[in-house]
Structure 1
Amino acid sequence: MGPLILTLACPDRPGITARVTGFLFERGCNILDAQQFNDRAGNGGGDRFFMRVVFDPDGSTREGLRADFATLASEFGMDWTMVREDRPRRTIIMVSKFDHCLVDLLYRCRTGELPIDIVAIVSNHPREAAIRVEIGDIPFHHIPVTPDTKPAAEAQFRTLAAETDAELVVLARYMQVFSDEQSAHFAGRCINIHHSFLPGFKGARPYHQAHARGVKIIGATAHFVTADLDEGPIIHQDVERITHADSPEDLVRKGRDIERRVLAEAVRLFAQERVLMNGNRTVVFRG
C-alpha cells in the first residue's frame, strides 16, 4: 500500500497537531508532508483547525488505522477522511455545447497530470452537438433537459452517479442550473466553472456584462455548486488583463483559456484532497 492522505477539520484547541502526529508515530508511520491552518476569524462558525497529512503507513492496514483514528477523531469532534494518495477519483464530466474545458481535462487525465478516472461524460445535447473530439471508451450519456422533464432528468443523473460510484461531478461549461435538490445531493463534490471572476458578473453572458462595464481584467472561477446560483465556496480563480480595444468576442476567446486552466487546477486540488470546506469558504492546501 502506498502513502495515505489524512484530512481533518475540527474546533480549534491546543494539542491537536501533537496528538495527530503522535498517533502516526506510535504506529510506525512516516509523515511525508503536513500542512495546517487555524481559522481565528471563525468563518465556519467559531475557531476552526484544518490539517492535511500525507504519510507512509509502513505496513499498517488502512482499515486498522481508520478504526484506531476514529477514537481520536471522536475526542476532538473531527470531520475527517483517510484515503490512498494514488487512487484516481471517479469523476463524471458534464458539458453542453462548449467542449474546451472537457478537451483540456481529457488531455490532462490521459497524460497523468490529473489523478481522476473519468467514468462518464454527460450532456443535455446529443453527442455530435456536444463534443467534437474523440473520447475513446468513456461512456457518453445524453440526458435531455426541459422545464417539464428536469426532475426526471436529474433523477436519471443521480442514478448514473450512484451506479458509477462517482466521487466528483465536474460541470465543464454545463449550461443547466441544478435544482435545490440536485445541489444538495452533490454538495461538496460538484465543481462548476463560471466564466467570470466571482462575485462579479454572475449569471448569463458575464463577458458581455464585463465588456459593458469597461473592466480591465477578466477572470474565471471554479467553485462548489450550491442552491445559490454562482455563490458556492470558491476553490480557484485566475485573471487576464484586457484593454479598451477588446470586443466581447475577444473577451470570450481569451476567457476560454482562463476557464480551462482554472477548472483543471480546481479538479487537481480536489482529487489530491487539498480542498476542505469552511462554512461558505474553502481552505485550500497548495502543493
Structure 2
Amino acid sequence: MDTHVKAALKPAKPYEQNRARMLISCPDGPGIVAAVSHFLYQHGANIVQSDQYTMDPEGGMFFMRVEFDLPQLELHLAGLEQDFAEIADKFEMKWQIYPLSHKKKLAIFVSKEDHCLVELLWQWQAGDLDAEITMVVSNHPDMKEYVESFGITYHYIPVTPETKAEAEKQQLELVNGQVDLIILARYMQIVSPALIEPYRNRIINIHHSFLPAFVGGKPYAQAYNRGVKIIGATAHYVTEELDGGPIIEQDVQRVSHGDDVNELKRIGRTIERVVLARAVKWHIEDRILVHQNKTVVFN
C-alpha cells in the first residue's frame, strides 16, 4: 500500500466516539448558557469546552459553541436532538450537533496552480485536517498522478465557455450527497448558483487579495499598479456575489516598491496556502457560525 494511503487510514482517536460539538445562534437574552449547560448535564453529558459571543446584549445575536462527551453517544444522539428541540424553540435557536466520529467529507476543486492543493493534502496526510478528502475535481489533468498517489479519486472535467454548463452539471452530480464541504483551492472558474445553493456556507474559496480590495481577476497586477505596501489573501464562503461572501480568515505580508508582479505572486502563494488551510481546519472543527454576511470564528 502507498505510504500516502496509509497516512489517510489512521484510526479515530478513542475519545471521538463519545464526543460531539453543538453550534448555536439565537437572539441574545438571559438564561441561554444556563439552559444549554443544564440540558447537557441532565442527559449525562460532560462539557469539555464552551465558547460564547454576543453581538449586543440588548437585542443582538448570541453565538455558542459547546464541545461535550456523552457515553454511548451514537445510541443517545437521536433522543438528545429530539429533546433539545424544546429548548431551541424557546430561545429561537438555529442549532446543530456534530459528532466527531462523523468525519466531514471534502471535495477540492483546482485548476493549474497547485500550491493550495499541495498544502491541504500535506496537512491531511499529517493528520492536521481531521476529515476525508473524497475527491479532487479539476479542469486540467496536470495534478492527476500526484493526487492519485494519495489514494484520492481525481476527476478531470474540462471547462470552456461552450461546455461550462455541462461541466457544472457533471460537477454537481459528483458532489451531490457525497461531500460536506467544497474547497476552491485556486479553482480559477466562477461557480454558478446551481452549485452554490445546495452548498450554502459550505464552499470555501481562497482569493489572492485582502478583500474587499482588488476583487475579481488579476489582483496581484491590480495591487502592483496601485503600489501597495501590503498584500494579502482571504478565505471566504462563496456566494452569488463575486468574492463577496462571508470572510473566514485573512493574512498579509509587507512588500516593497521593488517587487514586481511575479514577486508579489511568489510571496502571495505562501499567504494563500496558509490562510486557506486555516479556514478549512476551522470549518471541519465546527468553529464557524455565519450571520448575514459575517462570520463568528471560535479559535
* Aligned counterparts of 2:198 and 2:260: Cα–Cα separation in 1: 39
Report the equivalent of 1:235.
248
Letter in 2 for 1:77: E
Q: Is the 8 A contact 2:144 2:154 kept in 1?
A: no
1:93 Cα offset (Å): 0.1
1:133 Cα offset (Å): 3.0
Letter in 2 for 1:257: T
* 1:141 equivalent among 148, 155, 177: 155
1:190 Cα offset (Å): 0.2
* Aligned counterparts of 1:142 and 1:233: Cα–Cα separation in 2: 29
Over the aligned positions, Cα root-mean-square deviation in angstroms equals: 1.6
SS at match of 1:157: helix
1:115 Cα offset (Å): 1.1
Report the equivalent of 2:13.
none
SS at match of 2:54: strand
1:159 Cα offset (Å): 1.1
Letter in 2 for 1:9: S
- Amino-acid identity (%): 46
Note the 1:212-251 alignment, pairs <5 A: 212-251=225-264
Greater shift, 96-105 or 80-89, is seen at: 80-89
SS at match of 1:245: coil
* 1:84 equivalent among 80, 99, 114: 99
1:243 Cα offset (Å): 1.1
* Aligned counterparts of 1:80 and 1:134: Cα–Cα separation in 2: 36
* Aligned counterparts of 1:176 and 1:130: Cα–Cα separation in 2: 17
1:182 Cα offset (Å): 2.4
Report the equivalent of 1:96.
111
Distance 1:262 1:83, change over 3 A: same
Give the TM-score taking structure 1 as reference length.
0.93
Note the 1:189-200 alignment, pairs <5 A: 189-200=202-213
2:134 is the counterpart of 1:119: yes
SS at match of 1:283: strand
SS at match of 1:169: strand
* Aligned counterparts of 2:85 and 2:161: Cα–Cα separation in 1: 45
Report the equivalent of 1:274.
287
Letter in 1 for 2:167: A
* Aligned counterparts of 1:162 and 1:183: Cα–Cα separation in 2: 12
* Aligned counterparts of 1:213 and 1:131: Cα–Cα separation in 2: 37
Letter in 2 for 1:250: E
Give the TM-score taking structure 2 as reference length.
0.90
- Give CA deviations for 1:19-47 in whole Å, capped at 9, x if unaligned: 001101111211100001111299xxx62
Report the equivalent of 1:32.
48
2:190 is the counterpart of 1:159: no
- Give CA deviations for 1:47-97 in whole Å, capped at 9, x if unaligned: 211100000113452222111112211222211110112432100000000
Q: Is the 8 A contact 2:28 2:57 kept in 1?
A: no
Distance 1:41 1:75, change over 3 A: closer
Report the equivalent of 2:164.
150
Higher normalized helix content (fraction of residues): 2
Q: Is the 8 A contact 1:197 1:219 kept in 2?
A: yes
Structure 2: gaps of 5 or more residues: 1-16
* Aligned counterparts of 2:110 and 2:269: Cα–Cα separation in 1: 14
Q: Is the 8 A contact 2:147 2:153 kept in 1?
A: no
* 1:263 equivalent among 276, 291, 299: 276
Letter in 1 for 2:125: R
